[in-house]
Amino acid sequence: MERLQSHQDFTAVLRKRQRVSTHDIVVHFLVTSTPQSSDSKNQMDDLVSSTAVHRLGLAVSKSVGHAVQRNTVKRRFRVLARRYEHLLPAGYGIDCVMRAKPGCYSVPFSDLEPQVEKALTKIASIVDSQKD
């Protein structure tokens, strides 16, 4: 998963208002590219759609705790996002912003793991259901 870096990218994801929430995490998401139809004659279009990347941004506010605690939460989120990135549909470019709720630092890693898995699975089902 690549990183969301610019403020403009973050605000675009947050303005779309598509989100999935679990007990300790909120994941906002935006589909930025979709796969091309299979009858496309242009090989360049197929190449672009097959290399669509998922990008991740992290939002961990001071309500989570001091800097060391916030950085711990961010490290956990990065590991879990990489571990469960395969759940997101291939061929789509999806930007995600993972936001930690205030009690997130005190939650054990083993409890965060199923929450991230559940959130990314929900995003995949929403994206699949929006296919036209």
What's the CA gap between 93 and 33, in Å, rounded? 5
Q: Where are the domains of the chain?
A: 2-127
Task: Tell me the CATH architecture of domain 2-127.
Answer: 2-Layer Sandwich (3.30)
pTM recorded for the entire structure:
0.84
pLDDT in tens, 4-43: 999 999 999 999 989 999 999 999 999 998 886 444 445 5
Going through 22-60 in order, the beta strands assigned E by DSSP cover 25-33, 55-59
What's the CA gap between 108 and 112, in Å, rounded? 7
pLDDT in tens, 96-106: 999 999 999 99
pLDDT in tens, 80-122: 999 999 999 988 899 999 999 999 999 999 999 999 999 999 9
